[in-house]
Structure 1
Amino acid sequence: MITIDAMMVCLDLSDIDDKLVAFARSICERLEVRKVYFVHNIKVYELSEDFKEWFGDVDLASEVEGNIQDIVAEQFGNVADHEILVSEEPNTEVILADLVKRYKIKLTVLGKKMSDKSTGALGTKLLRILPCSMLVFPETARFNIQKVLVPIDFSDASVHALRLSKNLSDQLRLQLEIMHVYRLPGQFFPLISEEKAVKKAEEVVKGKFADLQKRHKEIAGVPYTLVRAANKSIAERVALHLEKGRHDLLVLGLKGNNPLPSLSLGSVPTEMYNTDINVPLWLVYSEEVIK
């Protein structure tokens, strides 16, 4: 059973907050979540002089907390133990990373607007700096999750994401599909026929799947799909398969063995985050990686 000891929900006082808090409620109703922290950081230095002149010495933190309390009361209720945390720090990423460590957060829930409304710069920074798994909820996503897609590359990180997805699917009775995107070494064409190359590549990948199923018996019955990247990136192929298969959740494993934090995500999770998809994106670190 998947248990989340502490979950953090990042709010930005925009229209997406209501959806994000409601989504947090949906998570708590379906999984065992012991404590939820609703957080917001006020960047005081960004407030205009006009604002300061109009409102003077107003206790902005208390006002923001009251606003969040209203949203939580309406969209979350008392479905789980929760607390509202409002800070006034110049660097949002740093204070959120500190909260993750201080409260031992296992999962951070983050809202994401479409690219025509936001650059997503803060979210990208949080993905690189927060020492916990993240669940990204696009503003166009649905709460009702029935089908889960987990792309794998046979790395330890992707296998961890697969095993978590299987546990989640068993617990909530969801449909789970595994996906692998492969590439062909184009420099050998036309020395080798494309048909033979595809056949050989798929034989190799099927062998890897057979080995994976032997090592992890619990995933033996999970259907998998092989997709050739061809002229598209892996992330583009994943996005197309998401839409075609009408999946409701995408799970990706995050790698953390790179000494440079800015390079630890991997290109596919980063590109998927920056793609306008309509399903929640669960980016998963294993406990070993976080430690």
Structure 2
Amino acid sequence: MKNANIAILIDMSEMDNIILNYAKRLDESHHFNSIHLVHFVEVTEFPKEILEMYPDLDQPIENMIAEEIEEYKNDCLPHCQEKIKIHVHGGGDMETFLEWMEEHSFDLVIIGKKSGSHGSGIFSGKMVRLLSSNTLFVTEMARGDIHKIMVPIDFSNYTQKVLSLAKTSASLINAELVPVHALKMSLQYYPFVKNKEELEKMLQKEVEKKYEKLKQKTGISESCLVVNAGEQHISKAIYDQAIFQSIDLIILGNKGKADDSDLLIGSVAERMIAQDRNIPVMIVNK
């Protein structure tokens, strides 16, 4: 992924400062060619009550929002002025907005993710499901500096692509790469295996063999961290390990090996961007 053409979704809240500063730090290492600051207007006109309170509001909503975004641009991205474009999409039609996004073939779409008490995440959920671009969810707790990147791998057909992208990103920002595989022992084997520890060792050796082949294909040198998910969902095992490892960014594919091909987003990716998760996540579209 070149990340030459990115879009930052602005929602006119305090979250905008967080994601713009985050994008600014990314631009320092990735050197984006173009940055689109985008806002989707869900209403088509000011409510009657607002117009009665402010009778001078005679210009279109889109114009007023564009002026405010211009101020954001000047304050948060002063050194990127020449490559920034502002787009305010009016009309309230999500379908035409998604069509506009797809027409611009963004390499990366950056979205702010608020905690469960502040935002429902419905809009961002639609974005990651329906766009073909890679999507980066920046949380309220996100730090500008990225020192450690975790990349969950499941040895699916798409693992190599995700791992290669994570390797490139880690190299650009001089971050440590932490590949991780969550070991999930299927219950169907339990009746036939008396020693569960032996089964775990056997599965771990199989993971090590597969990972050695993957290292040769991708050229990475880092070891793969193997965690036992036990009875919990794979996503929780990975996220708990990310917290323990003080991970700054998680990069994973939108679907995994066990997901149905008809799904728009897999169960692990879905849970990684849940409202109670505070680590930024980049979802790589396959």
**TM-score, normalized by length of structure 2?**
0.91
The percentage of counterpart residues that share the same residue type is 23
SS in 2 for 1:156: coil
Counterpart in 2 of 1:35? 34
Counterpart in 2 of 1:87? 89
Alignment of 1:191-270 (within 5 A): 191-192=192-193, 193-216=195-218, 218-219=219-220, 221-255=221-255, 260=262, 263-270=263-270
**Structure 2 CA distance for partners of 1:126 and 1:250, relative to 1, 3 Å:** same
Q: Give the CA RMSD over aligned residues.
A: 2.1
SS in 1 for 2:158: helix
Aligned length: 280
For 2:90, the aligned partner's letter is E
SS in 1 for 2:155: coil
Deviation at 1:277, TM superposition (A): 2.7
Deviation at 1:196, TM superposition (A): 1.3
Which sections of structure 2, spanning at least 5 residues, go unmatched?
A: none
Range moving further from structure 2, 23-32 or 243-252: 23-32
**Mapped partners of 1:23, 1:197: distance in 2:** 43
- The answer to whether the Cα contact below 8 Å between 1:11 and 1:38 also exists between their aligned partners in 2 is yes
Range moving further from structure 2, 6-15 or 188-197: 188-197
SS in 1 for 2:247: coil
Deviation at 1:89, TM superposition (A): 2.2
Deviation at 1:29, TM superposition (A): 1.0
Alignment of 1:9-88 (within 5 A): 9-45=8-44, 48-55=47-54, 57-79=58-80, 81-88=83-90
For 2:161, the aligned partner's letter is H
**Mapped partners of 1:73, 1:95: distance in 2:** 29
Are residue 133 (structure 1) and residue 134 (structure 2) matched? yes
Which sections of structure 1, spanning at least 5 residues, go unmatched?
A: none
Counterpart in 2 of 1:276? 276
- The answer to whether the Cα contact below 8 Å between 2:141 and 2:278 also exists between their aligned partners in 1 is yes
Once the two structures are superposed, residues 41-87 of structure 1 have per-residue CA deviations (whole angstroms, 9 ceiling, x without a partner) of 21225854322443454422111111111111001113251011112
Alignment of 1:111-122 (within 5 A): 111-122=112-123
**Mapped partners of 2:261, 2:87: distance in 1:** 31
SS in 2 for 1:33: coil
**Mapped partners of 2:261, 2:229: distance in 1:** 29
**Mapped partners of 1:223, 1:189: distance in 2:** 29
Once the two structures are superposed, residues 202-229 of structure 1 have per-residue CA deviations (whole angstroms, 9 ceiling, x without a partner) of 121112112222333x11x112111111
Counterpart in 2 of 1:107? 108
**Mapped partners of 1:61, 1:16: distance in 2:** 20
Alignment of 1:127-166 (within 5 A): 127-166=128-167
**Mapped partners of 1:46, 1:61: distance in 2:** 9
**Mapped partners of 1:273, 1:242: distance in 2:** 14
**Structure 2 CA distance for partners of 1:139 and 1:95, relative to 1, 3 Å:** farther
**Mapped partners of 2:165, 2:116: distance in 1:** 29
SS in 2 for 1:83: strand
- The answer to whether the Cα contact below 8 Å between 2:138 and 2:280 also exists between their aligned partners in 1 is yes
Counterpart in 2 of 1:124? 125
Once the two structures are superposed, residues 144-199 of structure 1 have per-residue CA deviations (whole angstroms, 9 ceiling, x without a partner) of 00111000101122221111111122222210010000111224435411111111
